[in-house]
Every structure is written in structure tokens, then in C-alpha cells.
Amino acid sequence: MNRTVVAAVILVLAGLSFGQDFETWIELPDSSAPFDGAWSATQNAVYMTNPVLDRVVVIDGATNGIIDYVSVGLRPEQAVWHSTNDRVFVGNLGDSSVSVIECASNTVVATIPVGNWPGALVSDPDRDQVYAANLYGSSVSVIDAATNSVVATVPVGAYPLALTLATHTDRLFVACYGTDEVVAINLTNNTTLEPQPVGQYPWSLAYVPLGRVYCACYGSNTVEVIDATVGRRTKVITGVGLEPHSIAAGGRYVYSANIGSNDVAVIDTYVDSLVRTIRLSSGAEPRAMAFDGVMEKMYCVLTGTNKVAVFADGSLLKTVGVKPASEGLVLNSTDLRVYVGGYTTDTIAVIRDTPPGGVEELPVGPARPGELVARPQPARDLAVVELGRGFRGTVELYDSQGRSVLGSDVAAGPDGRARIPLLGLAPGVYLAELRNEAGPRRARIVVAP
């Protein structure tokens, strides 16, 4: 698989203190009903769907101001940003189409007919494709993002409800709610592998780079583990809670939000075992989740108590009060913000994970071997990384969606530094992992606009 080679600035986390706090409300016109959305790293703009008014509101990620409203198809709900051409693809349930918004101009450049009820979307920048799961069409539409056309329609099981892209295996996994199975699509030829039976009502999927897919089964109260290469189930994890609704991968752990028992199950992906269950308040109803790979935080909407729960390293950090929320969470990795759609209140709540004023400047001192220190902080054209004399190893960079965007060897020069040009990297914040014989180290990475 081709990998977009980019470079970034690596910032040291030691000594920084971050908290997740409510920042502001964004008030929208009556009946806007913000539901879900996507974030363009290139424009630093948030695109939130308004299903009732058949449009998308565009929000400035730096100021939280409303930039524009873009009319799309009927009942838009899901949206995904496609980084290859800086466009947002919007699934319109009411007319079974996908609208394509060019982010530079905030205009619709194409409307693509797809199958019935495109309720889940996934972007694949490596193949320059977008996939739409057609809930009532029992199919997946494969969209060429360069030509804005459907190049294949792949039949799957009944009621395909969720998608996840296994980037390391060229497989797209589809949870089929109506037939209690997960179908793997081979993206090299758009054919399906043998459907894999799972528990009752598979509702949500999550992929981890270890080569496994996790499926939350709402009816059987299980999380099922599937080998991402061969597409076969390898384990059933029981005792996760009642009615697991959403599942998301975050670092070492997979989190299962269980609306029937008002708790979140934490699964250790190294051993595929349940390690703890985090009890929430009565009536919390944990639903949608999103992982911030930069700050390594998992956010979960608690629709029953009008809060957002924040988790890290398998534990609950805090809850943040918001107005009644939908299932929509949009992450802004440049300004470390989370946008929460308030479907019934016509508002969007903004949570921030760093003090206003942005990324702090850090004093840069001598580095121990393997310690990540970068100059300047943040950088635009060139990053100088302090590695220590004699250091040799590898660097892996991940974007806010957990996708690897850089994998390379790295070695320190005679001065203990490595010079990295910032070529073709969109502004934003990433996660870097440095590995050598001493083991892995992680650091936040920032590239300025």
C-alpha cells in the first residue's frame, strides 16, 4: 500500500498540563438540529450536518465562528473528510445520495446517486476512494473521489450499519445488522470474503493496527474479535455490559459504550480481554465515541445526562456538561477542540483540551538519548529534532484518525539532531512514536499553518 510520506514537528509533553473543559456554545438558527460532521485539517473548518434543514453548517476551527451554510441533499446525517482532495462527503438519507463539498470554496461540486439510505461513510485516502454503506440497499457503494462517481456496488448482508477500514490489510469491514454477520470486502477487486457470523445485532466496528477488528453486538451483549487479514472471528468477549451501542479503539484499549447498563467496558487489545467496566451515572446512555489520537483521549456522548465523558489509558478522567446532545462528535486536532451536536437544542457545544491561546512554547534544553525535543515549536518549514548522539531507530507518525502517515528510519547526526523538512503536511496535530531497542516513546506533533 502506498503511504503518503510527510514530516512533522515533535513536541515534548513533559511538564504540560491539559484539561478538558467546556469552552462555548455555538448557537444555530431554529430547526438546525446539528447531528454529526467532519473536520477539514487543511481549512481548519468543521462541517456539521443539519438533517432538518438539509444543509451543512461550516464553522471556523480557530474562532468557532460560523463561516457558511451549504445546501446538500435530503436529510444529511453522516459526513467524512477526504484528505486527498480536501473535500467533505455527506450522506443524504432522504434521497439516497452523497453530496461532495469542496472545502476551499464551501460549494457542492457533485451529487452522487448511491444505494438506499447511505448511513455510514469511510474515507480511504490511500486508494482515493470513499465507501458508503446503504442500510436499506444491502450494499456498499465504492466512490472514486477523483471523479465523484460510483465505480462499484458491492452486495453485502441485510442492513449494513457500520464500516471500518483495515488499512494494513486492504479490507473494508461491514457490520450487517439484519443478518448477524460481518462481511469483509477485498479492496483490490471489490469482492467479498466469506461472511463471518457474529453475535446478535452487530452495531459498531473498530479496527486496531495490530490487525484485528472489534464488533459490538447489541443483542448478544458481546464484543467479537475478527482477524483483519482472513476475516474470521477469533474470540468472543462476554461480560462487556448490556446493549453495547458503540465501540472505538484508542491506544492500547478498545472502549465499548453500553446503553443498557450505563457503563463503558475497557478491553486490552494486547490480550483481547476485558480489564474493567467503568460505571456511569444512572440513565447516562453512553453512545457515540471518538478518539483523539493526539492527546490520547476518548470522548463519549452521554445522551441521557447531557454530558460528555472523557477517558484516557482505560480510565475515566472526567465528565463535561453540555446541552442535550445527538450522537455527533467532531475532533479538531489543530486547536484541540471537540464539537458536540445538540440535535434538539440547535446548538453545538465546544470542549477544549488546552488553555485558550493554543500550543505553549516550551523551553528546549539538552536531550537525553532518545528524548524527543523539537525546534521551533510549532514549526512551518523545517523541524530540528533533538535525538542525542548515537541514536538510531524508527519514527512512526499517526494522524487524528489513527492512520499512519510516516514510517521511516531516523538517526542523529554528530550534533545529536535530525533535520526534517515539512513537505506536503497539512497543518494540524499528530502523534509520533519513536522506537529503538529501549522501547517506544510517544510525543505530540504540531505543524503550523
Domain membership of residue 363 (yes or no) is: no
Q: What is the CATH number of the domain that holds 425?
A: 2.60.40.3080
**Other residues' Cβ atoms within 10 Å of the Cβ of residue 356:** 7
- The band of 167, judged by pLDDT with boundaries at 50, 70 and 90, is confident
Same domain, yes or no, for 279 and 426? no
Same domain, yes or no, for 266 and 392? no
Same domain, yes or no, for 268 and 399? no
**What integer pLDDT is reported at residue 10 of this predicted model?**
28
Same domain, yes or no, for 205 and 324? yes
Query: pLDDT by residue (tens digit) across 73-86?
Result: 999 999 999 999 99
Judge whether 120 and 144 are in contact, CB under 8 Å: no
Domain membership of residue 81 (yes or no) is: yes
Distance CA 231, CA 401 (A): 22
DSSP output for 346-364: TEEEEEESS-TT-SPP---
Q: How far separated are the first and last CA of the chain, in Å rounded?
A: 28
**What integer pLDDT is reported at residue 437 of this predicted model?**
75
Mean pLDDT of 208-230: 95
Same domain, yes or no, for 260 and 393? no
Most confident of 17-21, 139-143, 342-346, 422-426: 139-143
DSSP output for 73-132: SSSEEEEEEETTTTEEEEEETTTTEEEEEETTTTEEEEEEE-SS-EEEEEEETTTTEEEE
Same domain, yes or no, for 443 and 335? no
Same domain, yes or no, for 385 and 280? no
Same domain, yes or no, for 206 and 284? yes
Residues 305, 401, 352, 20: what is their CA dihedral angle, to the nearest 10 degrees? 60
Mean pLDDT of 122-140: 97
Tell how far CA 70 is from the center of its chain: 23
How many folded domains does the chain comprise? 2
Same domain, yes or no, for 86 and 172? yes
Q: What is the DSSP letter of 267?
A: E
Alpha-helical (H) ranges within 308-393 are none
Same domain, yes or no, for 319 and 403? no
Q: Which domain holds residue 304?
A: 18-352
Single out the residue of 161, 310, 164, 321 nearest to residue 245, CA to CA. 161
Same domain, yes or no, for 308 and 440? no
**What integer pLDDT is reported at residue 400 of this predicted model?**
57
Q: What is the CATH number of the domain that holds 138?
A: 2.130.10.10
**What integer pLDDT is reported at residue 429 of this predicted model?**
64
Q: What is the DSSP letter of 248?
A: E
Domain membership of residue 139 (yes or no) is: yes
Same domain, yes or no, for 293 and 348? yes
Domain membership of residue 194 (yes or no) is: yes
